[in-house]
Amino acid sequence: MGEQLRLMAVHAHPDDESSKGAATMARYVAEGVDVLVVTCTGGERGSVLNPKLDRPEIWEQLPELRRAEMDRAREILGIRQEWLGFVDSGYPEGDPLPPLPDDAFALVPVEEAAAPLVRLIRSFRPHVVLTYDEDGGYPHPDHVMTHKISMVAFDAAGDPERYPGEGPVWQPLKLYYHMWNMRRIETLHNALLAEGLESPYGEWLKNLDPKRDKSSRVTTRVECGEYFEQRDDALRAHATQVDPDGQWFAVPRDMQVKHWPTEDYELVRSMVDSPTPEDDLFAGVRERVSA
């Protein structure tokens, strides 16, 4: 039968796992893959983005609520989940930008912050790792930091000279970035207009800086439309972070499945032969594991 396939997704905050790659994870869980989400921070400095919950008592309980929401999303997706234990940096706004809090995840030295992730890679032994690109997907300091420690840990986990106290070495075989594919947004926007429906993407597309469009970097499209409902349920489980009447749910699910039934990635490291384009994160890995 071969070894069970294992997938690790490294995220900055609780709720990120449900807005990025959730349907992919649900699909692989259904196929028998062992999936672990690593959450770098507790989301302590997040906002209450659901207007129905924007009340003082919710803000006071936010750290505890975000952990409870993560537990519910984990159950819905059928995944495992671990906390790295760092403190949310918050999203600095203003001109000039204010300094980050002293305890912020983004201020921890990268080599130090990567150590617990190396430990988890060596203990969980993933074949594939998912993380953010060099911009963090968007420029939240915790997302950028998540990228940095993921890159260090992916390379260091298999090197016996690095982090010698963090367990027996293990080298993951592939590393991917989540990709916000702007062609998906354009496709769904045009499909909505063709049906005479209002699109939530008009202003976004009008103001899009072409330099921010990374569609050409996509190497891998994982078909997972039948798991979009599960993804949406997991996202709604993060009730303080998601407006159930907002943009995340503005496109009818059947239209998403019809016009763009994939989640998209960029393959950035591979220790196996896996020509792109791909439709499977484990392309080239399955053969190695079952050999």
Note whether residue 160 is domain-resident: yes
Which residue numbers belong to the known binding site for Zn(2+)?
13, 16, 143
Q: Is residue 270 part of a domain?
A: yes
Residue 19 phi, psi (nearest 5):
-100, -10
pLDDT digits (tens, 9 = 90+) for 9-42: 999 999 999 999 999 999 999 999 999 999 999 9
| Nearest-angstrom CA–CA distance, 254 and 192 | 12
Q: How many CB atoms lie within 10 A of CB 197?
A: 12
Q: Is residue 201 part of a domain?
A: no
Residue 202 maps to a domain: no
State the binding site. Answer: 13, 16, 143
177 has which bridge partners? 131, 266
Global pTM? 0.96
Number of domains in the chain: 1
Residue 189 lies in a domain: no
Looking at residue 126, what is its pLDDT? 98
The CA distance from 39 to 70, in Å, is 9
- Asked if residue 200 belongs to a domain, the reply is no
**Domain membership flag for residue 208:** no
Q: What is the pLDDT of residues 220-255, one digit of tens each?
A: 999 999 999 999 999 999 999 999 988 889 999 999
CATH of the domain at 237: 3.40.50.10320
Q: What is the pLDDT of residue 97?
A: 87
What's the first-to-final CA gap in the chain, in angstroms? 10
User: 99 lies in a domain?
Assistant: yes
Domain of 277 in residue numbering reads as: 6-181+215-290
Is the pLDDT reported for residue 89 higher than 80?
yes
